[in-house]
Amino acid sequence: MSLLSLFSRRGSAPVARERLQLIIAHERADNGRSDLVVTLREEILAVIAKHAAIERDKVSIKAEQREGVSTLDINIELPTIAVGMRKAA
**Residues lying near a second copy in the complex (CB under 8 A):** 1, 3-4, 7, 10, 14, 16-34, 36, 39-40, 43-44, 47-48, 50-52, 67-69, 71, 78, 80-84
Alpha helix segments (H runs only) across 1-89: 5-8, 36-51
Minimum distance of a second copy from residue 3's CB (angstroms): 4
Question: CB–CB of 17/80 below 8 Å?
Answer: yes
Minimum distance of a second copy from residue 11's CB (angstroms): 12
Minimum distance of a second copy from residue 76's CB (angstroms): 10
Please identify, using beta-carbon distances, which residue of 4 and 61 lies nearer to a second copy: 4
Question: CB–CB of 78/53 below 8 Å?
Answer: yes
Q: Find, among 37, 25, 18, the residue nearest to 76 by Cα.
A: 18
Please identify, using beta-carbon distances, which residue of 9 and 56 lies nearer to a second copy: 9
Give dist(CA 69, CA 45) in Å, integer: 21
